[in-house]
Amino acid sequence: MPITELLTRNATYFKNDIALVEINPEVKNIPHVTWREYSLIESNRSGAFRKQLTWGEFDIKANRFANLLLTRGVKKGDKVAILLMNCIDWLPIYFGALKMGAIAVPLNFRYTADEIAYCLKQSDSDVLVFGPEFIGRVEEILDQVPKVKNVFYVGDECPSFADSYEKLIAYCSSSAPCVYITDEDDGAIYFSSGTTGFPKAILHAHKSLVHSAKVEHAHHGQTKDDVFLCIPPLYHTGAKMHWFGSLYSGGKAVILRGVSPEWIIRCVSEERCSIVWLLVPWAQDILDAVESGKINLEDYELSQWRLMHIGAQPVPPTLIKRWKKIFPNHDYDTNYGLSESIGPGCVHLGIENTDKVGAIGVAGYGWEVKIVDENRQTITEGVGELAVKGPGVMKCYYKDVKATEEVLDGEGWLYTGDMAEYDSDGFIYLVDRKKDVIISGGENIYPVQIEDFLRANNAIKDVAVIGLPDQRLGEIATAVIEVKPDFDLSEEEVNEFCMALPRYKRPRKIIFADVPRNPTGKIEKPLLRKTYCGESVVAQQNEIDKVLNSDKK
């Protein structure tokens, strides 16, 4: 079945039950009343502090947008790009596109104008839906994407080059469009990227989306009574596919537009959240706030919180030790996945295996896994490349046959590019990545982009960007810079130069040293990691020892 049938089912059986809540801490903080009390004071205008949708209202909004697209000549198989910050309209827009047979194309809200234009062209997008944060970027590139005929704006004060989403859907039918969709039909394109930094368009069928919902439900046993707290961006397969567990069970989900520890804990308390997915930095910030006394857990109702799970980056075992000390009744889980496998869950630790923290786990629900050597022959010992197979594997890299053939074989195996090994119990541990992608705070950072940018500095002779271990972010982008003879360059000057980069791409550590290259001219990044990771690991271990010693005291 297509993923849209789950929404139709929920609207039929749970019409008046809450599906989505949006909490927007940017509006204002009212400390003396609950968010629900304050929401009664506020109107449901754009930017309201707390908004909510029932499953029936969710379905109607999706139907209205689907019919709006049909009135504009959008056809089954056309692409609808979504460039929005997390908000209560994000998912109805996504499902509206799917309901009329279009292919949803979520875009990373961190993209620069050039990256937005590239992705719109690469995906052959016909429609763009965007929010107020992106007015300047969208206006800058519209003349570069002539195929995008329809541009819809979500928010107040619609710019002249777009049409108002809210005003237009008000005049559209609330009935489901008569478009026949099967689980084999194309459903969504998600963007990923390799070490070159050029995003690849990952095409998934509806059956992939449905399988991810089944995986989430199977792994975490979500029921109608569970409330899922969604903090990560919805353009990411991780957040979306974890939310699919709520779609599958018909439960409520809360979209929190903020990551401060106080907001997360307050949201869990007031909205009665039972399942929370965190990134490592957010979990560490919560622990720091509790341990420092900034958050007093006795001020909150947290007894219903049953599961904390983490994904998108390696999880330090010391973090889970600290977490279980403060939240001893919580189940813990982690998932491994990639956008090519429709996000998290193809490898899964399992809440019963907390003693294996550090491993990514075993094959997830409905998935097969194997580790292969350089000839793609299965191995049971030693380090090799991790491969996965299951209903959630992508159809292809859209418009990139060569790249598809490099990672997908004729038997349906997806070769991840991640190096892994088994332990004696059959649990899988990641060892390293074949690719040079740096994962910092759950975001992919592509070294070549930063290297190319830094080389524009007249004082820089050569540069290599690598990821170094970091207790909070998993990894940090580190620039090893070789300065030209007779030039002076300080760390402060490099940081100032990098202000032109998006914040998440700016190197967090600068090292002035020679950049080694092999005889073919390639940077010897393994040597750099070996040289500098040791220093980083020692510093990190010192911090861990402080935590352990404080525990003893």
Is the residue at 211 inside a domain? yes
State CA 117 to chain mean position distance.
Answer: 21
Q: Please name the helix (run of DSSP H) or strand (run of DSSP E) that holds residue 419, with its range, or none.
A: strand 414-422
Residue 464 lies in a domain: yes
* Same domain, yes or no: 125 and 47: yes
- Does residue 361 fall inside a structural domain? yes
Helix/strand number for the chain, H first, E second: 16, 27
With b meaning 16 or more CB within 10 Å and e meaning fewer, what string describes 147-156? ebebbbbbbe
Residue 289 lies in a domain: no
Between β-strands 307-310 and 331-338, what pairing exists: parallel, antiparallel or unpaired?
parallel
Nearest-10 Cα torsion for 85, 86, 92, 96: 40
Q: Can you give the residue range of the structural domain that contains 35?
A: 4-258
* pLDDT computed for residue 48 by the predictor: 59
Q: Which of 386, 403, 433 is the last residue of a domain?
A: 433
Which three-class secondary structure string do you get for 57-76? HHHHHHHHHHHHHHHCCCCC
- 132 burial (CB, 10 Å; 0-12 / 13-18 / 19+) is middle
Tokens of 15: 């019409």
Of 359, 361, 301, 357, give the one whose Cα is nearest residue 331. Answer: 357
Do 188 and 165 have their domain in common? Answer: yes
Q: Tell me, what's the pLDDT at 307?
A: 96
Indicate whether 480 and 537 sit together in one domain. yes
Q: What is the pLDDT of residue 518?
A: 58
* pLDDT confidence of residue 197: 52
The CATH number assigned to the domain holding 385 equals 2.30.38.10
Cα gap 241→248, rounded to integer Å:
11
Q: And the tokens for 388? A: 């996965």
Q: Is 205 in the same domain as 222? A: yes
Q: Would you say 198 and 176 are in contact if contact means Cβ atoms under 8 Å apart? A: no
Assigned domain for 277 exists = no
The Cα 4–Cα 15 span in angstroms is 15
Domain-ending residue, one of 433, 458, 486: 433
Instruction: Dig out the tokens for 515 from the structure.
Output: 């950049």
Q: How many domains does the chain have?
A: 3
71 and 37 within one domain: yes
Asked whether residue 266 is assigned to any structural domain, the reply reads no
Burial 13-25 (b: 16+ CB within 10 A, else e): ebeeebbbbbbbb
Amino acid at 261: P
Same structural domain for residues 341 and 395? Answer: yes
Asked if 80 and 74 touch (Cβ cutoff 8 Å), the reply is yes
Residues 175, 47 within the same domain: yes
Q: Dihedral angle at the C-alpha atoms of 118, 2, 333, 529, nearest 10 degrees? A: -20
Token couple for 290: 């509790």
Please say which residue of 243, 258, 273 terminates a domain.
258
Instruction: Please identify every stretch of the chain with a pLDDT value under 50, giving residue numbers as ranges.
Output: 32, 40-47, 194-196, 519-520, 537-548, 550-553
Q: Is residue 283 part of a domain?
A: no
Q: Are 311 and 278 in contact (CB under 8 A)?
A: no
Tell me what pLDDT residue 274 has.
98
Give yes or no: residues 470 and 429 share one domain: no
CATH code at 492?
3.30.300.30
394 and 484 both lie in a single domain = no
Question: Burial, 392: exposed, middle or buried (Cβ in 10 Å; 0-12, 13-18, 19+)?
Answer: buried
Q: What pLDDT shows up at residue 538?
A: 43
Cα 391 from Cα 366, distance rounded (Å): 7
Burial of 167 from C-beta contacts in 10 A (0-12 / 13-18 / 19+): exposed
Residue 129 is part of a domain; what is its CATH number?
A: 3.40.50.12780
Tokens 């070789």 appear where? 482
The pTM is what? 0.81
* Whether residue 86 is found in the same domain as residue 217: yes
Closest CA to 155 of 83, 103, 69, 107: 83
For residues 70 and 201, state if they share a domain.
yes
Residues 14 and 162 in one domain: yes
> Would 447 be classed as within a structural domain?
yes
